Structure 1
Amino acid sequence: KNHDLQVMARGIVLGLAMLGFSLQPLKVSDQIDLATQQRMQQREQQLSWEMTWLQQEVVHTMEEPQNRLFRTDMPFTTWEMGLFGAFAGALMLLFGLFCMSMQQDFDDGSSDESTSSSEEEEEDLANEWGEERLLEQINQWPVQCLAKRSKVVQALVEDLLHACHLLTSKTLLPRLEPCIGVGSAFEGWSSDHDTTVYNLLVPLKPPTGHSFHLELGTGGELLDRHGRVRVQLECVCQREQLLGYALCFLHHPEVKLGRHEGPDFLQYLCTHSYLDVEKTSCWLQLVVMNAWLLLPPSHRCKLRLLPASRSCKLRLTSASGRPLFIDILLGVQQGDSRIYLTSQEAEAGLTSSTMWLESCAVLEVLFFRVMARQAPRGSCHLECLQLFAHLVRGTSFSSYCLKTVVMHLLTTIPLSSWHRAHMVERLNDILHYLHRCLERKQLHHFLLGNKRVPAELLLPPAFQTASPPNLFQHMAQEQDAHAQALRDFGKLLPQPHVPLPQSPVRLLKHNCVS
Structure 2
Amino acid sequence: TTGLMDNFTAYFGRVLSNSFYPVLHPAIGVGSAFEGWSPREQDVVYRVLVPMAPPQGHSFHLELDSAGHRHGRNFRVHVQLECTCGREQQAGNMLCFLHHPEEELRSNQDPSPLDTLCTDSYLDVHKTARWFYRLVRAAWPALPQSHNWHLTLLPTRRSCQFKVSNGTDSFRIEVLFGVRRDDSHVFVSSQTREAYTASTTWPESYAVAEAEFFKHIARQAPPDSLHLKCLQFFTRLQLGFSFSTYAIKTIVMHLLNAMPVSSWRRRDLLLRLVDISETLRLCVKAKRLNHFIVGNWRLPVDIILPEDVHRAKTPNLFHHLQQQPAAHRQAICEYRLL
Bin for the TM-score computed over the shorter chain: over 0.9
Equivalent residue in structure 2 for 1:183, among 31, 42, 47: 31
Task: Select between 219-228 and 407-416 the one with higher mean Cα deviation.
Answer: 219-228
Deviation for aligned residue 1:318? 2.5
Q: Name the CA distance, whole Å, in 2 between partners of 1:244 and 1:302.
A: 39
User: Per the alignment, do residues 293 and 169 of structure 1 end up closer, same or farther by CA in structure 2, a change over 3 Å counting?
Assistant: same
Amino acid across the alignment from 2:181? Q
Q: Name the CA distance, whole Å, in 2 between partners of 1:457 and 1:388.
A: 26
- The corresponding residue for 2:211 is 365
Deviation for aligned residue 1:346? 5.0
Counterparts of 1:241-320 in structure 2, within 5 Å, are 245-254=93-102, 255-261=104-110, 263-296=111-144, 298=146, 300-320=148-168
- The corresponding residue for 2:299 is 453
Deviations 1:90-124 (A, max 9, x none): xxxxxxxxxxxxxxxxxxxxxxxxxxxxxxxxxxx
Deviation for aligned residue 1:230? 1.0
Deviation for aligned residue 1:243? 5.9
CA contact (8 A) 2:88 2:96 kept: yes
Q: Which has more radius of gyration?
A: 1
Deviation for aligned residue 1:173? 1.4
**Gap runs ≥5 in structure 1:** 1-152, 493-514
Amino acid across the alignment from 1:430? I
User: Per the alignment, do residues 375 and 220 of structure 1 end up closer, same or farther by CA in structure 2, a change over 3 Å counting?
Assistant: farther
Tell me, yes or no, if structure 1 residue 335 matches structure 2 residue 182. Answer: yes
- The corresponding residue for 1:382 is 228
- The corresponding residue for 2:322 is 476
Deviation for aligned residue 1:203? 1.1
User: Per the alignment, do residues 394 and 207 of structure 1 end up closer, same or farther by CA in structure 2, a change over 3 Å counting?
Assistant: same
Tell me, yes or no, if structure 1 residue 410 matches structure 2 residue 256. Answer: yes
Q: Name the CA distance, whole Å, in 2 between partners of 1:349 and 1:318.
A: 35
Counterparts of 1:106-255 in structure 2, within 5 Å, are 153-220=1-68, 224-240=72-88, 245-254=93-102, 255=104
CA contact (8 A) 2:52 2:177 kept: yes
Q: Secondary structure at the match of 1:256?
A: helix
- The corresponding residue for 1:56 is none
Amino acid across the alignment from 2:105? K
Amino acid across the alignment from 2:270? V
How many aligned positions are there?
A: 337
Equivalent residue in structure 1 for 2:334, among 479, 488, 505: 488
CA contact (8 A) 1:210 1:231 kept: yes
CA contact (8 A) 2:7 2:143 kept: no
Deviation for aligned residue 1:323? 2.4
Q: Secondary structure at the match of 1:207?
A: coil
Deviation for aligned residue 1:372? 0.8
Q: Secondary structure at the match of 2:280?
A: helix
CA contact (8 A) 1:442 1:471 kept: yes
Q: Kindly report structure 1 stretches of 4+ aligned residues shifted beyond 6 Å.
A: none
User: Per the alignment, do residues 349 and 289 of structure 1 end up closer, same or farther by CA in structure 2, a change over 3 Å counting?
Assistant: closer
Tell me, yes or no, if structure 1 residue 392 matches structure 2 residue 247. Answer: no
Q: Name the CA distance, whole Å, in 1 between partners of 2:140 and 2:92.
A: 36
Deviation for aligned residue 1:427? 0.6
Q: Name the CA distance, whole Å, in 2 between partners of 1:234 and 1:264.
A: 11
Task: Select between 356-365 and 299-308 the one with higher mean Cα deviation.
Answer: 299-308
Amino acid across the alignment from 2:231? L
CA contact (8 A) 1:221 1:469 kept: no
User: Per the alignment, do residues 374 and 437 of structure 1 end up closer, same or farther by CA in structure 2, a change over 3 Å counting?
Assistant: same
Q: Name the CA distance, whole Å, in 2 between partners of 1:466 and 1:267.
A: 36
Deviation for aligned residue 1:298? 4.2
Task: Select between 221-230 and 201-210 the one with higher mean Cα deviation.
Answer: 221-230
Q: Secondary structure at the match of 1:155?
A: helix
Amino acid across the alignment from 1:270? C
User: Per the alignment, do residues 346 and 422 of structure 1 end up closer, same or farther by CA in structure 2, a change over 3 Å counting?
Assistant: closer
Identity %: 47
User: Per the alignment, do residues 239 and 299 of structure 1 end up closer, same or farther by CA in structure 2, a change over 3 Å counting?
Assistant: closer
Which structure features the higher share of helix residues?
1
CA contact (8 A) 1:173 1:265 kept: yes
Deviations 1:157-193 (A, max 9, x none): 1101221232333322112111111111111211011
Amino acid across the alignment from 1:318? N
Deviations 1:275-306 (A, max 9, x none): 11101100100111110023246454211000
User: Per the alignment, do residues 335 and 256 of structure 1 end up closer, same or farther by CA in structure 2, a change over 3 Å counting?
Assistant: farther
CA contact (8 A) 2:140 2:146 kept: no
CA contact (8 A) 1:449 1:467 kept: yes
Q: Secondary structure at the match of 1:411?
A: helix
Task: Select between 228-237 and 481-490 the one with higher mean Cα deviation.
Answer: 481-490
**Gap runs ≥5 in structure 2:** none
- The corresponding residue for 1:423 is 269
Q: Name the CA distance, whole Å, in 1 between partners of 2:196 and 2:144.
A: 43
Equivalent residue in structure 2 for 1:345, among 181, 189, 192: 192
- The corresponding residue for 1:93 is none
